[in-house]
A = this chain, B = another copy of it.
Amino acid sequence: MNKVNIDKFLSNKAKRMKASEIRELLKLTEKPDVISFAGGLPAPEVFPVREFEEAARYLLPRHGEVMLQYSTTEGFTPLREFLAGYMQKYNVPAEVENIQITTGSQQALDLVGKVFIDEGDYIITSKPTYLGALSAWTPFKPKYLTVNMDDDGMIVEEIEEHLKNHKVKFIYVLPNFHNPAGVTISEERRKKIVELADKYDTLIIEDDPYGELRFEGKYLVPLITLMKERVIYLSTFSKTLAPGTRIGWITAPKDILTKITQAKQGADLHTSTLDQWLVYDLCSRGILREHVKKIRALYKRRRDLMLKSLEDYMPKHPEIKWTRPQGGLFLWVSLPQKFNTYELLDKAVSKKVAFVPGAAFYPGRSEGFNTLRLNFSNAKEDDIVEGIRRLAELVKDELNK
């Protein structure tokens, strides 16, 4: 047999793929005695396990032949109806035919990439931005135009500057409790962003996995409500119920949704029928609503404790700052410019505490070396205090060098 050189068979897309840096980091930090603020995991101790078990026990004997069979690409109709109603409650204009069920929100990003991105297309995104979007889109070789953020989210003047200079396929927006930055786009900026999309004739991808997890402050209307014709809205049950079932959805204008459904046919035919039935059951029995209340309270407690611990332990320094997210799972820490948080992570892991270095979230991976992301949803209360204490010690040592 002749030797096989795999590299020469790989597509250009494959050459642009790489293992997720975060997933590799997580492997290092997953030892049981490490206090990890690195992952983006919900708290499993409050998963509605019993309710899923009840749903399976009740539904399978009655509807098993349908729940285990192939189903439609668009998704389980009662679940799509529920989601249309659910979104209408938030003034999002949606009917059943505007809803596509996806295999988690990650698949929604992949389908968006397939349907919209050709090589060289311009996309506007915040920096830092969600890493999963980059791993879905980078294989298709778009050009990222990046925009800075402040406490009110993306700087709209920078968005307009890009729109003036380039024909842009879409603006990628994480409206609520940004991953990784923890910030929320203000009402005024939301209005401004959709106006810009209209003025310069572009689309908006609104990625909103955390919108339901608001602990305090005023509910802000999603961008899709402001201009449904130009917004493709993505969300998921991963943060509100459980991520293991991989149920997400896309809300979009009907003509766009038709293309997305065609892309999904080629991608995985349809999402697990069984999982869609189970998730629908929890939604229709009101368990989703109750569960969201419960995790909002839990995550708020953990966020408060993490903020207090940072306050208590971090050295006072004008360049040491962190965001105060009104919801979600993450906060974002900036350290003085001389810090390299990859190096800090090495030291942190030896002290049994972990986070994600911020540079991982920048499209070019060439800035943000003084930043880091902390997850507060997945750590127990005692660990939050102790983990932040250890981290603060390391920062102090480094400052004093």
List the interface of chain A (C-beta within 8 A of B). Answer: 1-2, 4, 6, 9-14, 17-20, 23, 39, 41-42, 44-45, 47, 49-50, 52-53, 56-57, 60-61, 64-71, 73, 103-104, 106-107, 109-110, 114-118, 121, 132, 135-136, 139-140, 169-170, 198-199, 201, 203, 227, 229-230, 238, 242-246, 253, 255-256, 258-259, 261-263, 265-275, 278
Q: Is the beta-carbon distance between B44 and A49 smaller than 8 angstroms? A: no
Chain A, interface SS category: helix
Using CB atoms, name the residue of chain B closest to A202.
B9
Flag if B230 contacts A4 (CB, 8 Å).
yes
**Which of A11, A47, A245, A261 counts the most chain B CB atoms within 10 A?**
A11
Residues of B with C-beta under 8 A to A68: 44, 47, 49, 52, 242-245
Is the CB–CB distance between B259 and A116 below 8 Å? Answer: no
Given A230-B4, A269-B106, A271-B246, the answer on whether A53 and B60 have CB atoms closer than 8 Å is yes
The chain B residue sitting closest to A276, CB to CB, is B244
Given contacts A44-B68, A50-B60, 19 further A-B contacts (CB under 8 A): A1-B198, A4-B201, A4-B253, A10-B259, A11-B116, A47-B64, A47-B68, A49-B61, A56-B56, A57-B57, A70-B244, A106-B266, A106-B267, A107-B267, A245-B273, A246-B268, A246-B270, A246-B272, A274-B275
Distance between A297 CB and nearest chain B CB, rounded to angstroms: 19
Whether A9 lies near B70 (C-beta < 8 A) is: no
Across the interface, name the chain B residue whose C-beta is closest to A105.
Answer: B269
**Smallest CB separation, A320 vs chain B (Å):** 31
Closest to A59 in B: B53
Taking A23-B73, A47-B64, A267-B106 as contacts, is the C-beta distance between A244 and B17 under 8 angstroms? no
> Contact between A47 and B61 (Cβ–Cβ < 8 Å)?
no
Cα(A68)–Cα(B48), bound, Å = 9
Q: Are B57 and A110 in contact (CB under 8 A)?
A: no
Q: Closest CB of chain B to A145's CB: distance in Å?
A: 16
Q: Across the interface, name the chain B residue whose C-beta is closest to A201.
A: B2
A253 partner, pick from B6, B50, B56, beta carbons under 8 A: B6
Known: A47-B68, A56-B60. A10 touches B41 (CB 8 A): no
Q: Is the CB of A266 within 8 A of B136?
A: yes
Residues of B within 8 A of A64 (CB): 47, 49-50, 52-53
Q: A14 to B71, alpha carbons, bound, how many Å?
A: 23
**Which of chain B's residues has its CB closest to A67's CB?**
B244
A61's nearest neighbour on chain B, judged by CB, is B53
What chain B residues lie within 8 Å of A258 (beta carbons)? 19
Give A272 to B66 CA distance when docked, in angstroms. 18
Whether A49 and B65, one on each chain, are in contact in the complex, defined by CB atoms closer than 8 angstroms, is: yes
Tell me which of B57, B135, B203, B246 contacts A266 (CB under 8 A): B135
- For A2, the chain B residues whose CB sits under 8 A away are 198-199, 201
Question: In the complex, are the beta carbons of A53 and B56 less than 8 A apart?
Answer: yes
Q: A107-B268, A259-B14 are in contact. Are A243 and B116 (CB under 8 A)?
A: no
On whether A13 and B70 interact (CB within 8 A), knowing A135-B265, A135-B266, A272-B272, the answer reads no
